[in-house]
Structure formats: structure tokens, C-alpha cells
Copies of this chain bind each other. A is one copy, B any other.
Amino acid sequence: MNGAQALINTLVEGDVNVCFTNPGTSEMHFVAALDQVRGMRAVLGLFEGVCTGAADGYARMLGKPASTLLHLGPGLGNGFANCHNAWRARSPMVNVIGEHATYHIQHDAPLTSDIEGIAAPFSGWVRTTMTPDEVSQDTAEAICAAKTDPGQIATLILPGDSSWNPTKNSLAEQITPPAPTFDETAVSQAAQLLKSGEPTLLLLSGKAVLDEGLELVGQITAKTGCTPMSNRPTARRQQGAGRAIMKSLAYPVPPSLKQLEQFKNIILISTAEPVAFFAYPGMPSRLAPEHAHIHTMVTPEQDVVGALRALADAVGVTGSEKTAVYTHEKHTLPTGELNLGAIWQSVTAQMPEHAIMVNEALTSGWGAGKFMQNTVPIDMLTGTGGAIGHGLPQAVGAAVACPDRQVIGMQADGSAMYTISALWTQARENLNIVTVLFNNRAYKILQGELDNVGAVRQGNIADSILNLDNPQLDFVSIAQGMGVEASRAETADQFNDQFAAALAKNGPHLIEVLV
């Protein structure tokens, strides 16, 4: 057995059995080993950002790491943006990055670069494996690091000779990450705040907005009258019928300040203090009111569900509370003009239970709220690190993770273009993904941001930089060119029919809407 085989062997044994890959020469032994060691599903991406975004989407849905296989520093660089998003999402991930053979690095061949340096900003664990005998042990440590609560990115750098030379260490023992705990005093203090009668906010993220935690949040809310709210970043949220009612912190600063101003106490549960996404002249970075008492009850690294259970006990939850939950209100299908509201109405009216919505609609998603309130139960994946181009790849990862569920991508045009080749992987793997492509022919969010930052507009250059209408992108043509069936809807009825047909069929489909 060679190092590459030991690597795959140890990954599979550690339940890391999907590899999103875009390999090169230095990874060829790993690629060959895919035929020699059973149990690893290899999913090819045509660009590394597709691979890392897919690994992120996969991890968000299953709570366990996939691996990536990328080609030296530039390959990892291409994967950087979606690694950044995955880091902010606290997604577990095992990156395997090929490197020149150990003895070749000194010669400064063209592809030589500082791979550890590139990986450092987003990795919780980085190591270069210098001999084949160390591969299986390093792999086991990488898996353990990735699985350490709440999940992090482990980057294992594999020189060619560590990959191709033989080793007898074909399988290291798996390492169990330490079980997370929580601070009972911090929970007691939170309970005191909730009993104080003062307006108190539970600000939530991570496992607190997934079913088990969310149910406890609902009970605590019912018992104490506090307000639950999800904070950014939220990697995955379970919502719709049967889930506790919960608002989200707004993106723009003024409404988010307004959302928070009433609260005397803000209890942080698996999240940090709320801050503005960007700084704007004359606006604060910190969003909580100055008078508010901010209390960290449990961090993402701790036992979030355990802490919520202890809090429920401490405030006297009995289990008989009447929790306020969303119901399912079946919408009628829209007719007539196809505007943003009609699109969201049609999607929410037709989407099946337990669909996974990957939402990178950005400005085309604003105003969707009223349709998204009382839907069937779904999982929602959204942006976490602010690096756009996550939607199409995350849909790939979610669909690979959950082959029995329908994935629905709500996708802005500008963002789609960063990782557009994810469509090819959707077709290659015949994934059940319906992408609704909002073509508004602009970086519309930036047109707003130009005003938000107080920039003075005078002339045409700035406007031209934010417009995507010259030439107009034709996403039907692009998608078909990558092997994905696609259609364009111009009326609500057309959209209704195309969306229904796309849901009914096997494999991916893209519907372009000009909005």
C-alpha cells in the first residue's frame, strides 16, 4: 500500500467517504488509489471553488466532513472563497492538497508556493505530511480536528513522494474528538435574566437553530416570554411548519438597530455579539443598544443543545408549553406578471416537504419573507462568510449529502458567475437540483451599497461597473452549454409549469427569470 492508498483507507474508515475533487499531476496517485481502495465517492468539479463550496454544503447537511482534493497552492487559492464561507459556517471539512515531492520543493519549480500560508486563514488544523509512514496518522488527526465541535477545516498537504512511496502504516486508529461541555454558571445567569421580566433576546445560531435546539428554544420562549432571533452567520436553519417562530437579524444596519433597541438583555447562544456586516460612515459597528447587558451563555465550541436543555430546566420548562410554531399555509399559484413576489409565491406553493433551499438570491430575496413564513418544513442554507458564489456549489454538496431530498437553488445572477461550472457537476452527477436564476442584469446589491456608504454619484463609470447588461448574460444558453436542461419563464403561469416540471423530473434544471 502506498501513502495515497493509506490516506483514502483512513478517510473511509473515518466515515469521510465523499471527495469533491479537481486534481492535477501531484494528485495522480490519489486519483489512481480511488480504484484501489473501496468506499470513496469522487465528485469532479471543473473549478476548485465548486469543490470547496460543495464540501461546505455537504457538511452543513450531514454535520460531518467531506474531503476535497486540490492541486497545490493555486488550486487551494481557487478554493479559498468557499473555504472562507465554510470556516464562517463552522463546517467540518478535510482538504487534501497535493504538493511537490519533498525533495523537489527546494528547486522552486513553477507551481511551488506557500501552501500552508494559503490555508492558514481558514484552517483550524494544517499539516504537511513528510513521509508515507505518517500519512494515516496525520489523516486520523485531520479527521478528528475537522469533527471537533462545532466543526472546522483541516488541511492536509500531501507531497508527491508521501503519496507514491510504500508504507506499512495503512490505517491509523480513529481519534474521537473531546466531547463538548458547557458552563453551568453561565446557564444559571441566563435563567436569571429570563426570570427578571426585562425584555430579553435569545440571539441564536449553529445548533440552536436546528431541530433539537430549536424545539428547546421554542419551549423556553413559551415559558418565559423572551424573544428568539437568529444571528448571522447561520449556516443552516430548519424552518417552516412545526418549527418555532423566530425572526432573523436584518442585513442593513438601520433596521437591525431597530430590531434590537428594545432589549435590556441579549443572551448569546452559539453566536457572537451582533455586528454590522460592513462598516458605513456614521453608522455603528456594534448593533446591540449600549444599555443592553450582553451575556454569553454558550459558545459554538461548547455543548449548545446540552446548555439549552439545562436552561429549559432552569426556567421550569415542563414539556407541556404551547410553543409558537409556524403552520403550513398552502399558497395559491400566482398568475399574470412574473415579478419577484410571484416567483417566491410559486416556489413556496410548490416546494415539497423537507426540500433544501440554498439561498443566494440576495436582493431578489428581499420581500420573500411573507411567502417564506408558513411553508412546508425545509432546511435553509445561506451565505455565511460574505463571499458570493456559494449557492451553485452548495447545492451540489447538499444534493450529494441528501439524495432523497429536493434541492432548490434561489440564485442571483452576479453571484452565479463566480462558480458557474457547478452546473456541469450538477449534470454529471444527475443531482435533483432546481435552480431559479434571478437575472436582474446588475450587481443590484452594490447599487444600493454605493448609496449606503455615502458615495457621491457623478457620471456614468460607477453605474456601468455595477451593471451586467452589456452584454446581457443568457443563463439558459450557459446552462445548456454545461449539460443542464434549462428554460426561461416570462409569465407566472410559465414559471408555475416549468417549476412543477423541474421538480417532477430526475436531475438538474435551471429556470431563468428576468427580474
Contacts and interface: CB of A to CB of B under 8 A. Distances in A.
B461 A34 contact: yes
Nearest to A387: B74
Given A28-B446, A107-B275, A453-B160, A81 B88 contact: no
A44 B462 CA distance: 11
Contact of A478 (B35, B36, B477): B477
B120 A462 contact: no
Interface of A: 21, 23-26, 28-29, 31-32, 34-36, 42, 44, 46-47, 49, 72-75, 77-78, 80-81, 83-85, 88, 100-101, 103-104, 107-111, 113-114, 117-118, 120-122, 160-161, 164, 232-233, 272-273, 275-279, 281, 285-286, 383-387, 389, 414, 417-418, 420-421, 424, 427-428, 446, 449-450, 452-462, 464-466, 468, 470-483
Contacts of A384: 110
Given A29-B453, A473-B481, A473-B482, 8 more contacts: A28-B453, A31-B462, A110-B277, A111-B387, A114-B120, A164-B454, A474-B483, A476-B481
A110 B23 CA distance: 29
A108 B275 CA distance: 8
A237 to B, nearest CB: 16
Contacts of A482: 471, 473-474, 478
A465 B21 contact: yes
A278 B25 contact: yes
Interface centre among A49, A75, A83, A109 (most CB of B within 10 A): A109
Interface centre among A111, A233, A277, A387 (most CB of B within 10 A): A387
A325 B305 CA distance: 77
Nearest to A474: B481
A120 B121 CA distance: 12
Contacts of A420: 420-421
A236 B456 CA distance: 41
A266 to B, nearest CB: 15
Contacts of A480: 474, 477
Contact of A107 (B108, B286, B470): B286
Nearest to A384: B110
A471 B278 contact: no
Contacts of A454: 164
Contacts of A465: 21, 23, 31, 34, 42, 44
A461 B35 contact: yes
A348 to B, nearest CB: 27
Given A80-B74, A104-B279, A31 B111 contact: no
A481 to B, nearest CB: 3
A471 B428 contact: yes
27 contacts: A25-B449, A25-B453, A31-B455, A35-B461, A42-B461, A42-B464, A74-B385, A78-B418, A88-B110, A104-B275, A104-B285, A107-B276, A109-B275, A109-B386, A111-B386, A118-B118, A160-B279, A161-B279, A164-B281, A424-B473, A428-B471, A471-B482, A471-B483, A477-B480, A478-B481, A478-B482, A479-B481
B481 A477 contact: yes
Contacts of A84: 73-74, 77, 113
B118 A31 contact: no
Nearest to A82: B74
A201 to B, nearest CB: 18
Contacts of A449: 24-25, 28
Nearest to A421: B417
